[in-house]
Amino acid sequence: AKAHDRGKCVLFKDDMRDKILNSIQMSSLLRTALDQNLFSLVYQPILELNTMTVSGVEALIRLNDSDGRPVSPMVFIPYAEQHGYISSISEWVIKTAAQQTSDWRRLGFDNLRMSINLSGKCLTNSAVVNTLQKYVKACRLKPEAFDLEITETAIIEDLDLSLNILDELKALGFSISLDDFGSGYSSLTYLNKLPIDTLKIDREFISQIQNEEDELHLLSAIINLAHQLGLRVLAEGVETETQLNYLIRQGCDLAQGYYFCKPVPSEEAERFIASRGFN
Ligand code: C2E
Ligand code: CA
Ligand code: CA
Ligand code: CA
């Protein structure tokens, strides 16, 4: 589905109730959501495949429109990036995720890592470094508690500046993942240049695994290449046991997806983490 259609934002949902929000409605929705704290975060567990325990969670933002119907972040995040809302939304996400991480620390989930999606727009302004440091400090956490998920499309807009900001974040102790690898603009050139720790293989790739006997040469090559570069490999969108077994055999390090757990509110994530154990 397309997020933008001449200023109209198409809301796509699984059912047939697609709804169109025009630019004015979208702006007003985002402003209200920021003023009245209407955003929420859901958390999807990430599993360490060696131990099958939880190594962290990815925070994903949620928003309902005034009728209570969900608006996809794939629609409102790009809109927010283009209309000046993204830094406020990012700050809200960072603050909320940091508070949750600190709550979980208090519950004893010691090394659980919080993955946050950082919009590329944030990487063109060094303010994000201060914002991250501010909430890490306020919640008495260490940067190591966070993993910042970035995409290549974002970075290549202003490579030099983004690289500087990423190097700074990396030096502070934040860990960095390259999200959606294998989709769209993926280019091997950046793998060497970017200070990344983890390669997240895009769901598109994972969905190609249909049988355990499949030979997906490109997928194997990506996993091997990542390992040779000293990166960890995370498979996203794992939906079946077949895919899981395949990935384990290929030496993939981490996985997340509906097969394990959907993105869920904090209490539910907490129960999942407690039942699986964490590392
Ligand atoms: P993403 O970062 O690639 O997130 C993965 C998306 O895949 C999420 O969709 C998640 O709910 C979904 N997913 C997870 N496991 C499975 C699975 O097994 N099968 C399938 N079919 N889907 C799965 P979601 O939450 O709708 O987010 C969509 C995109 O919106 C994200 O893609 C990310 O680019 C953006 N986004 C979400 N939250 C934030 C945020 O807090 N900040 C920013 N800047 N972007 C965000
Ligand atoms: Ca992500
Ligand atoms: Ca992704
Ligand atoms: Ca994506």
Q: Return the residue matching tokens 């909320």.
A: 96
Q: State if residue 243 touches ligand 1 by the CB under 6 angstroms criterion.
A: no
Query: Around Cβ 264, how many Cβ atoms within 10 Å?
Result: 17
- For residue 114 the two structure tokens come to 């919080």
Query: In this predicted model, what pLDDT tens digit does every residue of 187-227 receive, in sequence order?
Result: 777 888 899 999 999 999 999 999 988 888 989 999 999 99
Lowest mean pLDDT among 65-79, 179-193, 249-263: 179-193
For ligand 4, the distance from its centroid to the CA atom of residue 19, given in whole angstroms, is 22
Cα–Cα distance between 47 and 186 in angstroms, integer?
24
Q: State if residue 258 touches ligand 1 by the CB under 6 angstroms criterion.
A: yes
Query: In this predicted model, what pLDDT tens digit does every residue of 93-125 receive, in sequence order?
Result: 999 999 999 999 999 999 999 999 999 889 989
Q: Do residues 216 and 222 lie in contact, with contact meaning Cβ atoms separated by under 8 Å?
A: no
Q: What's the one-letter identity of residue 265?
A: P
What is the best residue among 95, 117, 132, 247 to mutate for testing ligand 1's pocket, by most ligand atoms within 8 Å of CB?
117
Instruction: Report pLDDT for 191.
Output: 85
3-state SS class at 86: helix
pLDDT tier at 11 (50, 70, 90 boundaries)?
Answer: low
What is the dihedral sign for C-alpha 18, 19, 23, 27? negative
Q: State if residue 48 touches ligand 1 by the CB under 6 angstroms criterion.
A: no
For ligand 2, the distance from its centroid to the CA atom of residue 34, given in whole angstroms, is 22
**Percent of the chain scoring above 70 in pLDDT:** 92
Instruction: Report pLDDT for 185.
Output: 65
3-state SS class at 48: strand
Instruction: Report pLDDT for 159.
Output: 86
C-alpha atoms less than 13 angstroms from C-alpha of 14 in its C-beta half-sphere: 0
- Residues 6+ away with beta carbon under 8 Å from 134: none
Query: In this predicted model, what pLDDT tens digit does every residue of 18-75 receive, in sequence order?
Result: 456 889 999 999 999 999 999 999 999 999 999 999 999 999 999 999 889 999 999 9
Instruction: Report pLDDT for 20.
Output: 65
4 pLDDT higher than 50: no
240 pLDDT higher than 90: yes
Nearest to 152 by CA among 194, 113, 111: 194
Query: In this predicted model, what pLDDT tens digit does every residue of 118-156 receive, in sequence order?
Result: 998 899 899 999 999 999 999 999 999 999 999 887 777
Q: Return the residue matching tokens 């590392």.
A: 279
pLDDT, averaged across the chain: 91
